[in-house]
A and B are shown apart, each in its own frame.
Chain A
Amino acid sequence: GAVVSQHPSRVICKSGTSVKIECRSLDFQATTMFWYRQFPKQSLMLMATSNEGSKATYEQGVEKDKFLINHASLTLSTLTVTSAHPEDSSFYICSARDLGFGGGYGYTFGSGTRLTVV
Chain B
Amino acid sequence: GENVEQHPSTLSVQEGDSAVIKCTYSDSASNYFPWYKQELGKGPQLIIDIRSNVGEKKDQRIAVTLNKTAKHFSLHITETQPEDSAVYFCAATPPPGRRALTFGSGTRLQVQP
Residues of A at the B interface (CB closer than 8 Å) are 6, 31-32, 34, 42-44, 46, 49, 51, 91, 93, 95, 97, 99, 104-105, 107-112, 114
Contact = CB atoms under 8 A, between A and B. Distances in A.
Interface of B: 32, 34, 36, 41-46, 49, 51, 89, 93, 97-106
A95 B42 CA distance: 13
Contact of A49 (B36, B42, B100): B100
A112 B41 contact: yes
A109 B98 contact: no
B89 A32 contact: no
Nearest to A48: B100
30 contacts: A32-B97, A42-B106, A43-B89, A43-B104, A43-B106, A44-B89, A44-B103, A46-B102, A49-B100, A51-B98, A91-B41, A93-B43, A93-B44, A95-B101, A97-B97, A97-B98, A104-B32, A104-B51, A104-B97, A105-B32, A105-B34, A105-B93, A108-B46, A109-B36, A109-B43, A109-B44, A110-B43, A111-B42, A112-B42, A112-B43
A99 B97 contact: yes
Contacts of A51: 98
Nearest to A9: B41
| Residue with the greatest number of chain B CB neighbours at <10 A, chosen from A31, A32, A108, A109 | A109
